A and B are shown apart, each in its own frame.
Chain A
Amino acid sequence: QSGLTQPASVSGSPGQSITISCTGTSNDVGIYNLVSWYQQHPGKAPKVIIYEVGKRPSGASDRFSGSKSGNTASLTISGLQAEDESDYHCCSYTRSGTWVFGGGTRVTVL
């Protein structure tokens, strides 16, 4: 299985909105609504911020939102804040019953 495709980096100014894309195939992102997003600060374990494409777990900021169109999922961060500077990873369940991650996106707050 090939990994999902994410941009290596995205940047924005405080208060702006940014969107991170995550492109897969009809064998993973396109077939199930089981895309999740993880935030990872340096030296820390990842933390789920979005699951099932657009659901937020308890405690996750409502500035995070997710969507999907075809084989591409997206994570939008609204009202960008300094604390959002981090790595973001998308993940999808696959037709084979396995999981596949993207390469990760580094978000920089200018």
Chain B
Amino acid sequence: KQEVTQIPAALSVPEGENLVLNCSFTDSAIYNLQWFRQDPGKGLTSLLLIQSSQREQTSGRLNASLDKSSGRSTLYIAASQPGDSATYLCAVTWGAQKLVFGQGTRLTINP
């Protein structure tokens, strides 16, 4: 079964720290992997998309890496700010077109 897991479910860090969010998936034959941000009660904002052939993508203070062989992706956030507080979701597309989501990591940045 194709599944996505995100651990931990919640993370709290002081402002200014660099941090890493983890995502693991069960089948390495992915098509692409996407990281999203979700604020409470809101829709999803796409942060980064990594194609199967890529190893990483960067956008501003965010860097996402992909290691298919180990079934892992990480989202690195540099110099965290209180505005980064949100739930971060990892989603994988395999052969079918649907996104399979992890449960998310709820991130709190403390001023």
Do A and B interact? no
